[in-house]
Amino acid sequence: MRRYGAASQSAWWVDAALLLGVLGLLYGIVHVGKGMVEPYGPPDAAIDVSLDPSMLPYYAGRSLIRMFVALGASLVFTFLYAQIAARSRIGERILIPLLDILQSVPVLGFLSVTVVGFMALFPNSLLGVELASIFAIFTGQVWNMTFGVYQSLTGVPKELREASRLYHIRGLRRFLLLDLPYSAVHLVWNSMMSFGGGWFFLAVSESITVLHHDIRLPGIGSYMAAAMDQGDVRALLYAIITMVVVIVAVDQLFWRPVVAWVQRFKVEQTAGVDQPSSWMLNLLRRSRLARWMHKAVVEPAWAWVIAGRAGRRERRTFRPNRRVRRLLASAAWAALSVVVFYWVVRGGLMVAELGWRELLVPVGYGFLTMARVFAAVALGALWTVPVGVWIGTHPKWSRIAQPLVLIAASFPANMFFPLITAVFLSLHISLQWGSVLLMMLGTQWYILFNVIAGASAIPNDLREASELLGLRGWRRWRYLILPAIFPALTTGLVTASGGAWNASIVAEVVSWGGTQLTATGLGAYITRATTEGHWPAIVWGIVVMAGFVVVINRTLWRRMHRLAETRYRLEA
């Protein structure tokens, strides 16, 4: 695919470094991965997390493996789900609304359910807990990715699809030639953002309390939790530094090269102006080793994809006629709906045990939490909008600030919760109010990031015109800035509010050195139910929260999105 210019010089040290890097990576994965299947018996054997800083690289490795396994699983799921949704009409009608609901289910709410489930699947092994953690990260990132890929797939031009059919490009070849490249740019960007959000779920899922058992998975999240528990500030500092180093390293060594490389799949038919670049990718392109790999593996494989297998014409695959196929499809859907129906009924019966009074209480809690979510988002917007606009309108700063904000957004804010709890305790601040601050902590960065992007996209001529018109102060905000950043701001607010709902589960119950603070709210309700293993309450709590999120999405956010798309869109 890639043609290397003659000018590219090969440097031996690049190859050497690359070889060492690959070997080191392989060894690391094997060494660290061994720990994943260690024997583990739940009731008594709590795993000790050592606060020795020399253990940190190992813990970081464990966490990283979880993150990447979850990413891989997300990618596989994404393509299967999006393909079905984009290809089949029934699939589309069921799967896409379902995606909307799944997106609204608070991941942390059912973490406890999955931990117990996976532990039952792999008794006496750490693998169950490990998988539960991976599953939590997976569910935290996958819906967003799936939605993006689905949108890309439905956006493939009709003519390109027709050309593929005309030239007999199907199956794996169609996937590699059409579907994958077409969704690549969107997918990589989406994956990068989701991966960043995944650290939050990683940190929570590495140390969780289910049925009064503290379950600790070796990892950077549990290290930090342990440091908090023991009030070891030095270890805490080490952990924070490690976390930042890991986030930056993954960004520089993995995401940046991929983002830069994937630009070749941009669909715009014109050559781009401002291309993302990556030093790592440039290094790889200069390396002889990578070039050899390319020649030996990538090129023949690609040639095969282009050429296809010869003699396709003769082969006739068995295709049942339309009516039979339709019948089979309906039968499959019917079977699926029976299964779903069965579980819905069982779930309903279980929840019904609560009695109607007990059913109403969480709904009331839901309103309280909703107020906190809105307050957190509003507070976050209050400082991020002016700051973001200032950064966005100063190109020099926005280039520096954007990656920093992304790192800040990736950093799992919940790691700081205990520390802030200590401050609350000493200042006698009630968590009823304090939890708003906690929820804001992790989610404000999404608003900031989007506002910067929106503000930097304000066309220059509009800015000049408003200057000539003498728009200043409030009028400048009212007629220029707020309308111009509205679409980006909406995206930011939606993401932030989704994050805040999830954060409420860990923000409404916090502890510091044995003292526990609790706020009245749905998040606290779910957390309490989880600790006690009160199943009907867990299920009902999740349902209520998902209901709140869905209703808010349907009413408020969707309306704002529509307004953003019709009225406030800046035509490029």
Q: Which stretch binds another protein (CB under 8 A): 258-266, 333-341, 389-397, 420-428?
A: 258-266
Interface region with another protein, contact rule CB under 8 A, candidates 209-217, 263-271, 330-338, 476-484: 263-271
End-to-end CA distance of the chain: 31
Q: In the bound complex, what is the minimum distance in angstroms from residue 334's beta carbon to another protein?
A: 19
In the complex, minimum distance from the CB of residue 563 to another protein, in angstroms, rounded to a whole number: 8
Among the listed ranges 48-56, 164-172, 286-294, 512-520, the one in contact with another protein (CB under 8 A) is: 164-172
CB nearer another protein, residue 54 or residue 566? 566
Residue from 5, 6, 34, 159 touching another protein (CB under 8 A): that is 159
Where do we find the tokens 């008794």? 123
Q: Which H or E run contains 209?
A: strand 207-210
Tell me which stretch binds another protein (CB under 8 A): 161-169, 189-197, 285-293, 499-507. Answer: 161-169
Interface map 280-309 toward another protein (x if CB under 8 A): -----------------------x--xxx-
Kind and range of the H or E run holding 216:
strand 213-216
Choices 167-175, 282-290, 323-331, 397-405 (CB under 8 A): range interacting with another protein: 167-175
For residue 374, the minimal CB distance to another protein (Å) is 25
Q: Does 212 bind another protein (CB under 8 A)?
A: no
From 53-61, 223-231, 265-273, 510-518, span contacting another protein (CB under 8 A): 265-273
What is the nearest approach in angstroms of another protein to the Cβ of residue 75?
19
Q: What is the DSSP string of 494-530?
A: HHHHHHHHHHHHHHSEEEETTEEEE-SSHHHHHHHHH
Task: State how far the Cα of 305 lies from the Cα of 177, in Å rounded to an integer.
Answer: 8
Q: Does 270 bind another protein (CB under 8 A)?
A: yes
- Looking at the Cβ atoms of 163 and 336, the one nearer to another protein is 163
Q: What 3-state class would DSSP assign to 137? A: helix
Per the CB < 8 A criterion, the answer to whether 525 and 537 are in contact is yes
Q: State the minimum distance, in angstroms, from the CB of residue 530 to another protein.
A: 44
Considering the rule CB under 8 A, would residue 569 count as an interface residue with another protein? Answer: no
Residue from 126, 141, 119 nearest 218 by CA: 126
Q: Which of 142, 178, 236, 481 touches another protein by CB under 8 A? A: 178
β pairing state of 207-210 and 509-512 = unpaired
| Single residue of 31, 87, 93, 168 touching another protein by CB under 8 A | 168
| Choices 26-34, 159-167, 196-204, 501-509; region in contact with another protein by CB under 8 A | 159-167
For the record, the structure tokens of 496 come out as 């932030």
3-state secondary structure of 569: coil
Among 7, 166, 172, 572, binds another protein (CB under 8 A): 166
**CB within 8 A of 116, min separation 6: which ones?**
210, 211
171 binds another protein (CB under 8 A): no
> By three-state DSSP, how is residue 125 classified?
strand
Q: Which of residues 307-326 bind another protein (CB under 8 A)?
A: 307-308, 310-313
3-state secondary structure of 39: strand
| Binding residue count for another protein, defined by CB under 8 A | 32
The b-or-e profile of 273-289 (16+ CB within 10 A means b, else e) is eeeeebebbeebbbbeb
Nearest to 385 by CA among 450, 474, 438: 450
Per rule CB under 8 A, is residue 571 in the interface with another protein? no
Q: How far is the CB of 309 from another protein (least distance, A)?
A: 9
**Residue 364 to residues 5, 355, 360, 526, Cα–Cα distance (Å):** 66, 15, 7, 13
Q: Is 572 in the site for another protein (CB under 8 A)?
A: no
Strand segments, DSSP code E, in 51-198 are: none
Question: Cα(474)–Cα(569) distance, rounded to whole angstroms?
Answer: 21
**Token pair listed for 53:** 């800083």
Determine the interface stretch with another protein among 35-43, 156-164, 423-431, 476-484 (rule: CB under 8 A).
156-164
State how far the Cα of 517 lies from the Cα of 83, in Å rounded to an integer. 46
Q: Give least dist CB 319 to another protein, A.
A: 9
Find how far residue 43's CA is from the centre of its chain: 32
Contact pick of 84, 211, 267, 293 for another protein (by CB under 8 A)? 267
Place of tokens 């709210």: 521
- In this structure, is the dihedral angle defined by the CA atoms of residues 526, 528, 531 and 533, taken in order, positive or negative? negative
155 contacts another protein (rule: CB under 8 A):
no
Binding mask 18-47 for another protein (x = CB under 8 A): ------------------------------
Q: Which is nearer to another protein, 295 or 472 (CB)?
A: 295
Of 550, 564, 439, the residue nearest 490 (C-alpha)? 564
4 near another protein, rule: CB under 8 A: no
Which residues sit at the interface with another protein, rule CB under 8 A? 3, 157, 159-160, 162-163, 165-169, 177-178, 181, 264-271, 303, 306-308, 310-313, 566-567
